[in-house]
Structure 1
């Protein structure tokens, strides 16, 4: 396999440093396993700065910059100034990961919405995609519905629902608007039947693939720290579910990534 685009990974996550895993080593191993391009995604201001640094340093690496919704209530004016500045950096392709997360608490829902809207405006001003982190508690769809309404209200044309793990009806709601759903290693888990059903029914032309490394390591290596090379298992699972050739999955998802990120 060759030509895979890991559209959401975190070379900038401190876990790698703690484990003594070098960024250069991860990238080289991934390339040997067929990964050609990567999007290193920020989750706060320091990690966004690091993402832009890695994008400039390594061939095939792009980046997204933004503040995770769980950090939204902590944002200060200086943080917004930093994000606005970073949005102009070379090889920035998206504002993310930004969005709504109601999993742990509903306390900051309104602040999260305000912060998401501000991120969307920065994305639109700089012609960048919006990379969404959306998470609900249990079977609720409140965060997804709120995010959808915000995207619609602000006429967002290029958006990615990162780490999608829900079912077909919710996926269709976003793909019907022309947005992409990004499939993580969760698709390989035995109990992810709703996600597998969504993958089966949604057109491959609306899908991206990602690792969300160092999290959500796919089978057969679940439980170990995740890196971009593991994305091959995501590709293989999608191909099996949709009865497609692996190369067709790679071609389609990479083409989709090039479109949403406006890359040649």
Structure 2
């Protein structure tokens, strides 16, 4: 396998630093397992700066910059000026990860929405993809429905639903707007029936793949730290579900990543 694009990873996560794991080694091991390109994604100002730094240092690394919905209470709207400035960095291809997260609390919904809208404005102004984090309680779709309303209002053209784990009907609402569904290692979990059904029904034209490393490690390494090289298990799972060759999955998802990020092959 070769040519895999890990569209969402966190070389900038403290977990790697605490374990003295070098980004150069993560990239080297991933390259040896067929991963050719990476998008390092920010979640606040400092991590966004780190993402840009890695995108400048490593030719195969691209960056996304933004403030995660769970972090909005740590910032003021004026801090988004930093996101805007960082978005002009070398190999910055997306604003993210941004969006709505009602999983832990819904008390700051209005502030989350305000930050989401403002960061959408930055993405549109600078012609960048939108990398969305959307999460809700398992029995609710409200965060997704609120996000859809905002996306339609803002007329967003290029967007990714990062780390999608839900069912097909909800995914289709985003696909109908022309967005990409990003499949994480969760697809390898035995109990991920909704996600596996989504993968079976969604066209390859609408799928990309990610690790969200160092989190959400796929089987058979579930429970340990995640690395970009483990994306091969996600590729295999999708190939099995869709009964296609692994190389077909790699080619399609990589092409889709290049399209949404506006990167020339």
Shorter-chain TM-score tier: over 0.9
For 2:79 and 2:110, how far apart are their aligned partners in 1? 19
Number of residue pairs matched by the alignment:
264
Q: Contact 2:211–2:227 (CA<8 Å) still a contact in 1?
A: yes
* Secondary structure at 1:160 match in 2: strand
For 2:204 and 2:48, how far apart are their aligned partners in 1? 30
For 1:133 and 1:127, how far apart are their aligned partners in 2? 19
Deviation at 1:79, TM superposition (A): 1.9
For 1:139 and 1:247, how far apart are their aligned partners in 2? 36
Q: Deviations over 1:131-180 (max 9, x none)?
A: 00000012200000000111111000000000000001011111111100
For 2:90 and 2:175, how far apart are their aligned partners in 1? 29
Q: Contact 2:77–2:115 (CA<8 Å) still a contact in 1?
A: no
Partner in structure 2 of residue 108 of structure 1: 108
For 2:44 and 2:236, how far apart are their aligned partners in 1? 32
Partner in structure 2 of residue 261 of structure 1: 261
For 1:73 and 1:178, how far apart are their aligned partners in 2? 31
For 1:161 and 1:247, how far apart are their aligned partners in 2? 23
Matches within 5 A, 1:10-21: 10-21=10-21
Partner in structure 2 of residue 84 of structure 1: 84
For 1:56 and 1:88, how far apart are their aligned partners in 2? 12
Q: Contact 2:175–2:181 (CA<8 Å) still a contact in 1?
A: yes
For 1:139 and 1:169, how far apart are their aligned partners in 2? 15
Matches within 5 A, 1:212-223: 212-223=212-223
* Secondary structure at 1:177 match in 2: coil
* Runs of 5+ unmatched residues, structure 2: none
For 2:150 and 2:81, how far apart are their aligned partners in 1? 23
Partner in structure 2 of residue 232 of structure 1: 232
Indicate yes or no: 2:156 matched with 1:129: no
For 2:80 and 2:158, how far apart are their aligned partners in 1? 22
Deviation at 1:74, TM superposition (A): 2.1
For 1:60 and 1:79, how far apart are their aligned partners in 2? 29
Matches within 5 A, 1:16-95: 16-95=16-95
Runs of 4+ in 1 over 6 A off after TM superposition: none
Partner in structure 1 of residue 8 of structure 2: 8
TM-score, structure 1 as length reference: 0.99
Q: Aligned pair in 2 of structure 1 residues 250, 113: CA closer, same or farther (>3 Å)?
A: same
Deviation at 1:78, TM superposition (A): 4.7
* Secondary structure at 2:147 match in 1: helix
Partner in structure 1 of residue 156 of structure 2: 156
For 1:93 and 1:151, how far apart are their aligned partners in 2? 19
Matches within 5 A, 1:201-220: 201-220=201-220
* Secondary structure at 1:211 match in 2: coil
